[in-house]
Chain A
């Protein structure tokens, strides 16, 4: 148990629907990261927060994707008008701001768009 919690673990949705995922980081970690992982590939960075500020977004994060971390604790990732290509594992990670510390990952949310 890494301490990073993600909910739900699995989500099946119809194309065109909106979905929202939640991530609760390790409590003392002020950095939170979202990744996407498709089958047979390594995770790819999407975005990250330091406290409530979203500091960086990848080009992978299209305008249908939005992430928030309103109080600097948990974060949500919303995908609007889902497409089949959005089917993937969405992983959340957290870390401190200390130099050379590990990133700890959650168990992920598996999204299937049908």
Chain B
């Protein structure tokens, strides 16, 4: 059974810092990995989807990397801003299947960026 772990559980940083969020998964036979953002009381916003054949994916100040062999992904946020404050979740679909929307999520990292 796939298990996804995110470290740290919470992170508080001053504005402008570069930061790294970590995600690890137990079953490395994944098709892709998706990073989401969730604001308090809201739904999930997809940030980046990394295919299993890719090692990195970038969108603006966000960069996500994937190392399947070690079962890890990192989300790098450059020049953090208070508006980046949210919970960040990583998720993977089941191995060997085609139901790509049936995701196993980590517990999330709560990020606070203070001015």
By a beta-carbon cutoff of 8 Å, the part of chain A in contact with chain B is 2, 4, 6, 31, 33, 40-45, 48, 55-56, 89, 91, 93-95, 97, 99-108, 110
Contact = CB atoms under 8 A, between A and B. Distances in A.
Contacts of B51: 100
A105 B34 CA distance: 12
A56 B102 contact: yes
Nearest to B4: A42
Contacts of A101: 49, 100
B31 A100 contact: yes
B101 A44 contact: no
Interface of B: 4, 31-32, 34, 36, 41-46, 49, 51, 89, 91, 98-108
Contacts of A99: 31, 98, 100
20 contacts: A2-B43, A31-B101, A33-B102, A41-B107, A42-B89, A42-B105, A42-B106, A43-B91, A43-B105, A56-B99, A94-B101, A97-B98, A99-B31, A100-B32, A102-B34, A102-B49, A103-B34, A105-B45, A105-B46, A106-B43
B44 A91 contact: yes
A25 to B, nearest CB: 10
Contacts of A93: 44, 101
B42 A107 contact: yes
Contact of A105 (B43, B49, B100, B102): B43
Given A45-B102, A95-B101, A110-B41, 7 more contacts: A89-B41, A91-B44, A97-B98, A100-B31, A103-B101, A105-B44, A105-B45
B107 A40 contact: yes
Contacts of B105: 42-44
Nearest 5 interchain pairs by C-beta = A42-B105, A103-B101, A105-B44, A95-B101, A107-B43
Contacts of B103: 43, 45, 103
Contacts of B49: 100-102
